[in-house]
Chains A and B, each alone.
Chain A
Amino acid sequence: MLHTDIRRAIHGAREFMNSIQIQTPGLLTTVQDLGREGFGPMGVSASGAADPISLRLGNRLVGNLANTAGLEMTLLGGAFVFPEGAIVALAGSDFGARLDDAKVDVGTSIEVHPGQTLRLGPTRSGARCYLCVQGGIAVPPFLRSASTHILCGLGGFEGRPLKTGDALLIGSASGPFRKRTIAPHISEHLFPRKVLRVTSGPQLEWFSESSRHSFYSGTYRISEQCDRMGLRLEGAPISQPHHRAMITEGVSLGAVQVPPGGSPIILFVEQQTTGGYPKIANVISADLHRLGQLRPRDEIRFELVTWEAAQSLLVEQEKRLASEESILE
């Protein structure tokens, strides 16, 4: 279906749909689902939630499918009014949320009554908090996804971060309120680590022994220049490989590329699809969601693991997430 048809359908159903009124948007709040994969040949990167595991868990708390669109807040949350009420949950980092005057826990489903306001503040832990609503945020899909691609102004709500006065529609959903909580052992497991595990990058052997050594022994600080496209790192510079001409090639999510200045950049969800810097390492799939919780000035280190270890860590993580005990009712 063309997305103009969906837009028309949403428009037609507007009067029957519940909504969220944006009183204040927070620092950077966008509509995100798990992203749009398969459009690399057009230069379109996957985008999607920066911490997809938190979005998935938040959706489970309110009884949604994993890929349902929610709101991604960054460092400072917003204030949201629910004129018709809703069943919602927060997942990810603690932004000191309150429903009217009552404190709201992260990782627990709550019932919002008509006219109540959910208010979030600055983060008390990691970079991102997700607001999931039963029924999901209804926006016209762009290339099969609700994710916002900020740089190009595509997808999500009008292709941009939310502003005061925006009204978002909530998808139709039914079902009684059920109190669900993310199990403590899952939350502990998700807590941001100081060490990011990586596999070797496709140009690893281009880097000298001493460059590799400084990369793996050094501590890096997340620079202020970090966004959904990439995280720039500050720390011991890595010398560029000499006598090597890099030809632009496809780049993967979590690639650690080293530009001429020597300060590594980790490519993130809204990444460019191709690039011309050599890559020394790549963050493993099981740690990609942690990138979404890193704040400017956080310090990290890198630890090299084997391909087998990277794969078994992901399998273990997915098993843990899929288990019945991950969500308590």
Chain B
Amino acid sequence: MGLGKALEAVRIHLSALTVPSSGRVKKASEIGSRAHNPLPMIQGVQFKPASDQSLLVYFGRKVTRDAHQRVRKLLHLLESKPIVGVRNLHPAYCSLLVVFDPLRLRHGDLENILSDYLRRLARLRLPAARKVEIPTCYGGEFGPDLEEVARLHGMTPAQVVELHSSVTYVVYFLGFVPGFAYLGVVPEALATPRLANPRRSTPPGSVGIADNQTGVYPFSTPGGWRLIGRTPTAMFRPNQKDMSFLSIGDRVCFTPISAAQFTALENS
């Protein structure tokens, strides 16, 4: 199926999100109503069943650093003190999808347990964020969209490289495919919409921009992000202990390198 299309859908604008968020999510009153009494809201947190075996925990409906910190904290707590019957966790910008065994848990049970976890978030201290560098060769065959991005913003390619590599980005979460980190926030002057026609395949290591997000394709997948460079660093390494090069919460910088350095790093 159209992976590119799927990525295409990630149409968000981090700086100006306009998602209505009026307290607790309304029940679908006509059908599929909740099997339990809703709990009182905890500091702007909303629960919403996503399927009969998963529950979405929303920390508001805006992409903010505060929401991101709370997602990280809840993820951290759930990983260090797992809930029996919880099978998987899918973090995102301001939500966490909790997948559970429907033969052991129901939405209401899980909401009760999660409420206890959520009450502990304020006091929880996260480990210090890692600082990670991604050596990147910009432009040329490695960044086929660099010139177009520069043209769209009335800049030179060199200015685009300078701006893109001057920012320290945050890994909001990993999603889509193994090791794909959603990095933000790209400076407004560089935010660029996706390609109208996504590529059928992007070379692994390609560094792209989509709106005010940037990221690195770990695998050769279809994709609509504008490619401005490529890194020789593997984003997903199945033979290493830490398979994903990046983790949620990391601080990331792109360091410009030459084509010769790229080749040298790739061969080392």
Contact = CB atoms under 8 A, between A and B. Distances in A.
Nearest to B176: A272
A314 B97 contact: no
B60 to A, nearest CB: 10
B85 to A, nearest CB: 12
A311 B103 CA distance: 8
B1 A255 contact: no
Contact of A245 (B5, B17, B175, B236): B17
Interface residues of B, number: 69
A319 to B, nearest CB: 10
The 6 closest A-B CB pairs, nearest first, are A250-B97, A250-B90, A274-B175, A282-B51, A200-B32, A310-B52
A146 B245 CA distance: 23
B50 to A, nearest CB: 5
Nearest to B35: A307
B35 A248 contact: no
A260 B56 contact: no
Contacts of A41: 75, 79, 89-91, 173-174, 248
A227 B1 contact: yes
Choose among B50, B61, B239 the residue with the greatest number of A CB atoms under 10 Å from its CB. B50
A43 B22 CA distance: 30
Interface in A216-232: 225-227, 229-232
Contact of A40 (B33, B88, B102, B103): B88
Contacts, number: 209
Choose among B13, B51, B93, B244 the residue with the greatest number of A CB atoms under 10 Å from its CB. B51
B94 A247 contact: yes
5 contacts: A38-B87, A41-B248, A43-B178, A245-B12, A252-B99
Contact of A274 (B28, B75, B99, B176): B176
B174 A37 contact: no
Contacts of A200: 28, 31-32
A165 interface: no
Interface stretch (A106-114, A184-192, A201-209): A201-209
B219 A285 contact: no
